[in-house]
Chains A and B, each alone.
Chain A
Amino acid sequence: MAITEDLPPPPPATEPELLELWEDAPGIPGFFSTVDHKRIGMRYIYTCFFFFFFAGAMALFMRGQLARPNAHVLGPQLYNELFTMHGVTMIFLFNTPVLAGFGNYLIPLQIGTRDMAFPRLNAFSYWVFLLGGIFMYSSFLVGKMPDGGWFGYTPLVSKTFSPGLNIDFWGLGIVFTGLSTTVGSINFIVTIFKLRAPGMTLNRMPMYVWSMLVFSFMAIFSVPAVTLATGLNELDRLFGTSFFVPALGGSVLLYQHLFWFWGHPEVYILFVPATGMISQIIPTFSRRPLSGYLWVAGALVTVGFISFGVWVHHMFATGLPPVAMAFFSGVSLIITIPSGIQFFAWIATMWKGKVELTTPMLFAIGFLLIFLLGGITGVMVAVLPFDWQVTDSYFVVAHFHYVLNGAVVFPIFGAIYYWMPKMTGRMLSEKLGKLSFWVMFVGFNITFFPMHILGFLGMPRRIYTYDNGLGWGGLNAMVSIGSAIFGLGTAITLWNWIRSRRHGAPAGDDPWQADSLEWSTTSPPPHYNFASIPLVASRHPLWDQRPLPFATSGDEADTTGLGAEGAVQRETPVTSGIDTRPEGNLEIPHETYLPFVVALGLAFLFVGLLVKAAVVAVAGVGLAVVAVLWWTWRTEEDLAPPDHQAEAPVSVDAG
C-alpha cells in the first residue's frame, strides 16, 4: 500500500544523487535550456522588476515635466511616448508577468509537486515574454516609441493618423506578449487541476492557488479579445483591411468593445492574484486561519465571472444606448460585493488573531487602506452622471493608480518580503523593509491623492503641459514631489534585496511559521522541490499536521511517483482533479533549448511583420514549426497514460 503516515522524509543519503539528477547544466547552456519552474519564476520576477524600474523612471520624467506650468523637460511627442510606454510596461511587462512569475515559483510548491504540468511550455512562456518585452523596448533604439496611449484607440492608431512604426511596436508587441500570458495560464490550470498532492482537495487549496486559478481562467477567456483588438488593427495597418475604418463599413467602437472586453477583466486579472497574496500574508501574521475561507474562494470566482460584464463602463462617454449603460453601471456596482466580502474576511482574520506587524503585514495593511480608497472611487465612477463629469480627467488617473499601483504593487512588494526568504534562503532586512514601506506609503498618497482634486479642478489626463493661472500648479508640484518619494521607497526595497543576497540572515525552512506546503521544504527548495510528496489532510498542513507526513511509492504503476523513487525517475504524480487520487506519473523533461528556439522563431515572425520583410517572417515560422515537431515527437514516452507505464522503477534506498 502506498499510504504511509507520519513517516519522516527519506534519509538524506539519496539527496546528492537526486540533486545531481535534477541539476541544470552550469553556465550559459543551462541558462537557455532550464525548465525548472523556480528558476523560470525567479527570472520572471527579475525581468519584471527591471521593467518596473524603467516604467518608474519614465513616470518620474513625466512628473518632472508636469511639476510646474509650461515646463520644458519633455516635448509633447516624447511625453506621449513616455506615458504610453509607462502604461504598456506596467500592464504588459510588469504587473501581469510578475504575478505569473510568482505563480510559477509558488504554485508547484504550494500544491506539493515537483514542477509544472508542462515545464517546457513554462520556459517557452518566459522566453516569449522576454522577447516580447525586448521587441517593444527596441522601439527606444530606433526612437519610435509607441505614442497612442496604452489602450491606443482607433482611429488615432490607424495607418492614416499614425503612419510610423511606433504603433506597430505596440500592436504587435501586445499580440506577442499575450501569447505568453495564454500559454502560462494553460499551464497553471492544468498544473492546479492535475498535480495537487494527495489529500489537497479543492477546499484545501491555499487561497493563493485559488487566486491563480481564477487569474488563469480569466486570462484564457479575455486575452483573445485584446489579441484581436490590436491584431485586427495591425491587419488594418499592415494589410489594408477595414475592421476599424468607418468609411468602409468598419467601426471604431468595435475596437473599444474588443479592447475593454479584455481590459476590464485584466484589472481583476491583476487584482485577484494580489488579493491571493494578501490572503496568505494576513493569516500568517494574524496567527490564525483565514476567516471565511469558502466565502473568499467564492468571492474570487464570482469576481472572475462578473468582471466580464463591466467593460462598457470604460465607454460611458461614447454615446451608447441608455439601457446598455444602466446595465453596465449596475454590474459595476454589484462587483463591489465580492470584493467587500474579501475585505471583511481580512479584517475579521486580523480582528480575531494576534497581529504581528512584520514588513509583509505592513504592506498588506497598507494595501487595505489604499484599496479601500481605490474601491470607493471605483464605485463613484461606476455611477453614470459622475463618470461623465470626471472621465478623461486626473480623477480617473488617481482612481486607477490607487487600484493598479496601490492594490497590486503593494501586495507584490509584500510578497517579495514574504517569499524572498523561501526563494533565496536569506531574510530581507526588516528595518529597511519597514522604512521602505513607510516611504512608499507616504509617497504614494502624496502622489495620487491630490490627483483626485486635480481631476475635480478640470485637469485632463494625457496633457504634456498646462498654462499658468489654472490653479493646478501647486497640487502638481506636490504630486511630483510625492512621486519622487514613492520612487525612493521602491529603491530602498531594491537596495534591501541586493544587500540581503549577501548579508541577509539565513532564513531556515519556515521563518514565518506559516501554514502552506512551500514552507515544508528547504530555502531555497531543491530542484525537485519534494523528495517525497507530502500527504495533505488540512487547509493548513504545517499547522495541523505535525510532523508533516510524506508518501512513499506504492507498487501499483500509478503510485510509483509519490515517494523518493519518483524523484529519482524525474517523475511527479498526476492526481485526479477533484479527489486527488493518484492517476499516474508525469515525466519531468530534461533541459532543452527547444522552448527558446520556438520563441525565437516567433520573434522573427513579429520582426518580419514589423519591418514588412516576408522572408524573415516565413523563416521564423519555419523555425518554430520545426522546433515544435521536434518538441512533440517524444510525447508517448513522456505522457504514457497510467495503465501502461514504460518500465518498473529502479529501486532506491528510501528507508
Chain B
Amino acid sequence: MTATAAVVTPGATRPSTRRSYPTAWWGMAVLIMTEAMVFVILLAAYFFLRAASKEWPLGGIEVPKLALAIPFSFVLWGSSLPIFWAEAGIRKGRVRRLKIGVALSFVMGASFLAYTLYDFNDLHFGWRDNAYGSTFYTIVGLHALHVFIGLGMNLVVQLKAWLGRYDRGRYASAEVFFLYWHFVDVVWLAVFPALFLSPHIR
C-alpha cells in the first residue's frame, strides 16, 4: 500500500469532446471481427484443399464465368457509396438523404443477390459433387446469406426512417446497419478474387 492517497484528477468527469459511436456500433464492430475470421478461415480452407489437389477446380468443373460476376461485383461494392452519402446526410439531420441513399443501396444489394441466385442456378455442379463444389457453394452461399441479412436490416432502417424515428443524433440502428453493410462489401473484396479470379491463374 502506498503511503500517499491517490487523488482524482480534476476534470476526470468532464465530458469527452470527441465524436463517439453508440455501444451498439462497437458491438457490431466486434461481431464483424469474429465474422471476418469465419471468412478468413473458410478461404484458408479453400486454398488448403486447392494446394493439395492436382487440378482445380476438381473433377473437370469449368472455372467460374466472369461476364456477369465482374459487373455485379462492382454493383455490390458500389452499394456502399449511397450508404456513405446517407450517413453524411443523417449526421446533419437530413432524413431524406438517408431514405434515398439506403433505398438505392437496397436496389444494388438486391440485384447482386439476384445475380448470385441466378449464378447458382446456372452452375453445372452441386455442392455434393466434390470438395471444390462444397467450398464454392458454402463460401459464396454464406456471403449471400450475409447480403440477405443486410437487406433485411436495410428494410428495417428504411421503415424506421419513414416512421420518422431518426433525426440528427438519433440514428443508432442505422449506424449499426451502415457498418454491417460495408463489411458485407469488404468480404466480397476478398471472396471474389479468391473464388472467381484466382482459378483463372494456372
Contact = CB atoms under 8 A, between A and B. Distances in A.
Contacts of B11: 3
Nearest to B17: A581
B48 interface: yes
B131 A250 contact: yes
Contact of B8 (A121, A221, A535): A535
Contacts of A536: 8
Contacts of A541: 6
Interface in B1-45: 1-2, 5-16, 18, 20-24, 26-27, 30-31, 33-35, 37-38, 41-42, 45
B49 A249 contact: yes
Contact of B173 (A225, A242, A556, A636): A636
Interface string B138-182: 100000000000000000100010000111111111001000000
Interface string A205-239: 00000000000000011111101100010011001
B13 A535 contact: yes
B9 A586 contact: no
Given A223-B34, A251-B52, A544-B6, A635 B24 contact: yes
B56 to A, nearest CB: 9
Given A190-B23, A223-B34, A199 B41 contact: no
Contact of B20 (A121, A287, A574): A574
Which residue, B5, B20, B42, B173, has most C-beta atoms of chain A within 10 A? Answer: B20
Interface residues of A, number: 83
B138 A641 contact: no
A292 to B, nearest CB: 16
A224 B37 contact: yes
Given A118-B27, A641-B172, A232 B20 contact: no
Interface string A568-584: 00000011100111111
A251 B169 contact: no
A610 to B, nearest CB: 20
A201 to B, nearest CB: 10
Nearest to B16: A581
Given A242-B134, A549-B8, A636 B160 contact: yes
A644 B170 contact: yes
A199 B12 CA distance: 6
Interface string A520-555: 000000000000000111101101111001010010
Nearest to B171: A636
Contacts of A540: 1-2
A242 B128 contact: yes
A541 B52 CA distance: 57
Nearest to A204: B6
A147 interface: no
B142 to A, nearest CB: 10
B198 interface: no
Contacts of B132: 249
Chain B interface size range: 35 or more
A189 B20 contact: no
B1 A3 contact: no
A105 interface: no
Contacts of B138: 232, 235, 241, 243
A111 interface: no
Interface string A237-270: 0011111010011110010011001000000000
B111 interface: no
Given A190-B27, A249-B132, A258-B45, A544 B2 contact: yes
A49 interface: no
Contacts of B33: 220-221
A241 B24 CA distance: 37
Contacts of B24: 118, 635, 639
Contacts of A68: none
Nearest to B132: A249
A538 B59 CA distance: 65
B134 A3 contact: no
Contact of B30 (A190, A243, A640): A190
Contacts of B53: 249
Given A117-B27, A249-B131, A254-B49, A581 B37 contact: no
Given A220-B33, A249-B58, A554 B42 contact: no
Given A235-B134, A251-B48, A635-B173, A241 B128 contact: yes
A597 B190 CA distance: 35
Given A3-B12, A232-B138, A576 B20 contact: yes
B192 interface: no
B127 interface: yes
B135 interface: yes
B26 A221 contact: no
A182 interface: yes
Nearest to A549: B8
B45 A186 contact: no
Interface in B70-89: none
B170 A225 contact: no
Contacts of A565: none
Closest 9 pairs between A and B when the two form their complex, measured CB to CB:
A644-B169, A249-B131, A581-B16, A538-B6, A558-B15, A241-B134, A639-B172, A2-B13, A537-B6
Interface of B: 1-2, 5-16, 18, 20-24, 26-27, 30-31, 33-35, 37-38, 41-42, 45, 48-49, 52-53, 58-59, 127-135, 138, 156, 160, 165-173, 176
Given A554-B13, A636-B166, 4 more contacts: A186-B27, A190-B26, A640-B170, A642-B20
13 contacts: A3-B13, A117-B26, A222-B37, A225-B37, A228-B45, A232-B45, A242-B133, A540-B2, A559-B13, A559-B15, A636-B165, A640-B172, A644-B168
